[in-house]
Amino acid sequence: TQLLEQSPQFLSIQEGENLTVYCNSSSVFSSLQWYRQEPGEGPVLLVTVVTGGEVKKLKRLTFQFGDARKDSSLHITAAQTGDTGLYLCAGAKNNDMRFGAGTRLTVKP
């Protein structure tokens, strides 16, 4: 059983569209991270959210941490082909970090 559930598992969209991916858990986390992984590379940290209800923006990416610190969402506006990759959320709790199964995003030109 996955501690962190990510949805959707796969997402294929056209360039210019908007999308949201979700990361849900029954556990409370002290912080939550989002990573993007491209083929042949390790995951790269995008953002860390720490406070319940927190919203962070990184150019076209908007990250939100749920009020109860159990869930998070990543919204991408006007997706570009360069956004293609595997998006992973990870929750930190008691010095332990666990990863979700990931959302594999494909942005078609």
Interface positions with other proteins (CB under 8 A): 2, 30-33, 35, 40-45, 48-50, 88, 90, 92, 95, 97-102, 104
Q: Least distance in Å: CB of 101 to other proteins?
A: 4
Quickly tell me which residue has 């959210």 as its tokens: 49
Quick one: which of 76, 74, 79 has its CA closest to 89? 74
Closer residue to other proteins (CB): 16 or 52: 52
What SS3 class is residue 4? coil
Closer residue to other proteins (CB): 55 or 78: 55
Closer residue to other proteins (CB): 68 or 78: 68
Q: Least distance in Å: CB of 16 to other proteins?
A: 27
Closer residue to other proteins (CB): 2 or 80: 2
